[in-house]
Structure 1
Amino acid sequence: MLAVLVAQCPAPAEEPLDRDPGLITLAFALARRLRRGARL
């Protein structure tokens, strides 16, 4: 079923840069590190 849906999709959707999971993960990792550093 998924193959049928993917075959009908003309092109992959372009995602804006702020939706990139790598950037979100990096931002959360930095925030967590800053919070832990503030507690120590």
Structure 2
Amino acid sequence: MILDRFCLQILPEIHHNIKWLDLESSSMKHVLRTAHYP
């Protein structure tokens, strides 16, 4: 639930300010689906 909120609400708003994000491998798939890549 917390990871969902982070990926769906928080990350899209702050992604341009993130320089480093240290996550467990189990969280990476969920986070990578959130971002839009060029």
Indicate whether the TM-score tops 0.5.
no
Structure number having the greater helix percentage = 1
The TM-score normalised by the length of structure 2 is: 0.26
TM-score (norm 1): 0.25
- Bigger RCO (CA 8 Å, 6+ sep): 2
Q: Which one has a bigger Cα radius of gyration?
A: 1
